[in-house]
Chain A
Amino acid sequence: MKKSRLGVGLLSAALLAFGSIAPAQAAGTLTIWVNSGDEAAYKAASADWAAKNGVTLNILAKCGLGDCGLSKLGPAGAGPDLFVATHDNTGSLVKSGVVTSLSTVINKAAYPAAAVEGVSFNFGTWGIPISISNIALATNLSLVPAGAPKDWATLESTATKLISSGKADVGVVTHIDGYFMQPFFESIGGYVFPNKNGKYTSVSSNGIYSSKLAKNANLMDKWLAAKLFDKANTYDASNFTNGKAPFAIVGPWSIDGLDKAGVKYEISGVPSLNGGYARAFSGVSAMYLNRFSKNKFLAKQFLTEVVQTKNFSKAITASNSSYPANLEAATTVDKNSVAGKFGAYGAICLPMPNVAEMNSVWTYWNGAFADWASGKSKFGDAMKTASKNLNTSLGN
């Protein structure tokens, strides 16, 4: 009897001890999830604000592609206060009901209209743009001393000459999927959803097998046969860095690798068959507010006083070689730098559609590219099937 009393005593002592160390919700704490690799830059850029306002910032590298898991974690109460995602997730996040409108927070004049459009959906604006990134064409200057091709004919003839003389194995190193092939796809007349000056007008029809594309589809088959694209579809960057491919489709994320490999390159837009540059998709990396955050006002204050400033956009983009979304910060980027050249091409690029329907688009569209690259079907047939299946799936 005595002994069990001792035990009971211990039990209550232990309960007390654990009760006192159980974490209490500290006032003035914000948890922010950012893309992995960016956390140091975010910490540095918001440290002053945090110190001045006595706010503890937990900046964690939890995001990458997609919606950061928020559609599952947010409602379960396991999400952060703020998180970073690319703008193409906007529609899906809004439809999942896990983000809060920032219409009254964003200063729209500080950003390019296309970027604001990208983070807007239905009645609201849902994200604060931070950086804009897009793919671009890299030209290997030791294989192509003339520099980046100004038109499609130059690109094609340069590549085919190098391949037939045995100097190069492939023309353009690229993933064969919708995102990476978009400039070529647009070049021959394809489009995902109809748009006017970068603003999408409808999602009830698609141009994956547009009449113009149907006419030009055999060009893609010809280019694949001529090894302009590598049908292995493994994005072998070493082909470009070892001088076995004159061109590559690269993003800001590739730049570190290219510099480390010591290859001499030039960044430019992807020339279009119709003259000028064909439009790649641009992605806006933006910060969103979790609907289930318990600190919405503090989070909004952080968005207004830190994230929307010129210096913040500049600091983040400088660290991950993307292009600032903030217009004022963008004017400070050197036009001849790599980031400047990405930005110059990005300015004419097409914002990636942000509607939830994109989930289905990627499935069918990427599937069609994969079928084509692996030789299962001709380009036109693959796109025809994808377009038809997409329409069925979206109930058009």
Chain B
Amino acid sequence: MRFSLFSRRNLLFALTGIFSSVLALAGFSLLADSSWFLGIFFIVSALLTIRIYWAKSNIHAKYIFPGVALLVLFHIYPAIYSGQVAFTNDSNGHQLSKSQAIDAILEDSRIPVESQSPVKYQLATRISDGEIFAIFRFPGLNLVAGNSNQMMLIGGSQTVINSDGLVKSAKGFKILQPNEYTLHAEQIQSLEVRLGSSQVLIPDDFDYLTLYRPGRTYSEARDEILDIATGVAYHPNQNGQMANSSGEVLYPGWKANVGFRNFTSIISNEEVRRPLLAVVAWTFINAFLIVTLSFLMGLVLALIFNFPALRSKRIYRTIFITPLAIPSVLSILVWAGLFQTSNGVINRLFHSEIPWLTDATWARIAIVLVEIWISFPYMFLITTGAIQAIPGEILEAASIDGASHYKSFRLIKLPLVIRTVAPLLVASSAMALNNFGVIYLLTGGGPSLANSNGNAGATDILISYTYKLAFNSQEGNNYGLASALSILNFIMVGLMSIYGLRRIKTMEGVN
């Protein structure tokens, strides 16, 4: 066989090689960022890509692998992630790790000692291990090199001092020049030189150290923060915060596992529970109304526009399908304008003063109207298809047997259409239960429900309420609770869909 550089097989090697090296690179940088799951996932995918596509066998795997990998990445991983978040107190004030939070508490409690003016310092690396040191003269001390771990005197004959008082060279150290500082910026800004237990020198910039008095200390052995001035001790509590014996807490807190607290608070926390019942009820009513009404509308239109005598059917059908073709983000915003109370086109047309988007009942009606407008073309399409798929002989036979139009519709067309589209109706219901876009863009969930103080609105469905809990800054971004609610939502929609599909199976059994 003649060797060709651009054979299909070499091209395959090249492309998969490049692809998997990109994956592996991404994987390693994710690992370096301590994103373990994603990092390992990317590296394993890279190895599998090579293993599967460079071998001559594995035909099945070649087809299945991309789908499975993407399924893991975009469905299973987010599901596991939000499932895990649901068991934490992930919310504003609980975003740090415990060590970050303790560092922050200690740092924020430092008080500058104003009687001591800032101390000029220089930077040096120790030649033996490359560690960064600050070199400075502190009142009462001679020339010192110090960092977070140790402090040593470096005066003496081995040290050369310039005429301006700065150190030119010192034994064992390499003095850094200012243009080298930015290379070590991260280490330098975390320098702190402890002078006994009650004073610490911290660099405020590349030139001066400021003397601070720590307000609190942390004992790792006892896992305890002690307030120096008051002597009060703080210990970790159940909620990922340092708290004293009377329950006062220090900020920031950290992300901690709280077990089932988010789930129990759905029932026990009145602020969450009170609006939840109304929201869940509206979620189901909304989905039911959208699916039935848009299906009926689609069916009626499909029947009308299948009428053989009707002319230019194609034009009408095209017109009916346009709502499907317009990006709903645009059309919903246009609808929001049309529904405006004082200047909206709809109210002007009817010379009415209907508070479309600000009154609970009218806002619900507006939502359902817009959702029907968006979803009836789909129903129209599928029912048209289903009607046209009914064999003409059956209808002919019926008319020979003397069935009226109505009877042949009720006894033949409708059962056959429903049988065809039933699985699609189940899918539509699942989508309607999660119909976030229309709610968010048209009413934003509003108007707010009485007694919920703006937490939930009359048109909020479960998923938009969840969104508000997670991302509405007024709520303090409670990701943990929002994840718990989204799991509840998933169970609800899942059960509904299973029930629906079961019903279809029985129906098929009958037919």
A interface list, Cβ under 8 A from B: 3-4, 6-8, 10-11, 14-15, 18-19, 22, 27-28, 65-67, 71-72, 74-77, 92, 94-98, 100-101, 103-105, 122-124, 169, 230-234, 236, 238-239, 291, 294-298, 300-301, 356, 359-360, 362-364, 366-368, 370-371, 373-374, 376-377, 385-386, 389, 393
Q: Inside 8 A of B22's CB, which chain A residues have their CB?
A: 14, 18
Q: Inside 8 A of B18's CB, which chain A residues have their CB?
A: 10-11, 14
Q: Inside 8 A of B10's CB, which chain A residues have their CB?
A: 3, 6
Contact A10 B112 (CB under 8 A): no
For chain B, the bracket of interface size reads 35 or more
Contact A236 B343 (CB under 8 A): yes
Chain A, residue nearest B183 (CB): A27
Q: How far is the CB of B15 from chain A (nearest CB, A)?
A: 9
| A103–B107 CA distance with the chains assembled, in angstroms | 13
- C-beta contact mask, B472-497 vs A, less than 8 Å → 1, else 0? 01111100000000000000000000
Q: What number of residue pairs across chains A and B have CB atoms under 8 A from each other?
A: 175
Contact B453 A363 (CB under 8 A): yes
Contact of B453 among A123, A231, A367 (CB under 8 A): A367
Q: How far is the CB of B309 from chain A (nearest CB, A)?
A: 48
Q: A27-B183, A96-B93 are in contact. Are A11 and B104 (CB under 8 A)?
A: no
Q: Does B342 contact A (CB under 8 A)?
A: yes
Q: A10-B18, A11-B17, A95-B252 are in contact. Are A77 and B359 (CB under 8 A)?
A: no
Contact A359 B203 (CB under 8 A): no
Contact A234 B205 (CB under 8 A): no
Chain A, residue nearest B15 (CB): A10
Would you list 25 pairs from A and B whose C-beta atoms are within 8 A, ordered by A residue?
Answer: A3-B10, A15-B24, A27-B183, A27-B185, A65-B473, A71-B92, A75-B100, A77-B33, A96-B96, A97-B100, A101-B107, A105-B204, A123-B108, A234-B342, A234-B358, A236-B343, A239-B342, A295-B182, A296-B185, A296-B189, A297-B185, A297-B203, A363-B453, A370-B446, A371-B450
A-B CB proximity, top 5 nearest? A97-B252, A367-B454, A367-B453, A7-B13, A97-B104
Q: How far is the CB of A250 from chain B (nearest CB, A)?
A: 18
Contact of B358 among A22, A77, A232, A364 (CB under 8 A): A232
Q: A14-B22, A233-B358 are in contact. Are A363 and B477 (CB under 8 A)?
A: no
Q: How far is the CB of B71 from chain A (nearest CB, A)?
A: 25
Chain A, residue nearest B249 (CB): A95
Contact B25 A22 (CB under 8 A): yes
Contact A27 B252 (CB under 8 A): no
Contact A98 B95 (CB under 8 A): yes
Contact A294 B186 (CB under 8 A): yes
Contact B453 A359 (CB under 8 A): no
Q: How far is the CB of A67 from chain B (nearest CB, A)?
A: 7
Contact B24 A301 (CB under 8 A): no
Q: Does B236 contact A (CB under 8 A)?
A: no
Q: Does B500 contact A (CB under 8 A)?
A: no
Contact A356 B454 (CB under 8 A): no
| A22–B24 CA distance with the chains assembled, in angstroms | 13
Contact A10 B13 (CB under 8 A): yes
Contact A11 B21 (CB under 8 A): yes
| A393–B455 CA distance with the chains assembled, in angstroms | 13
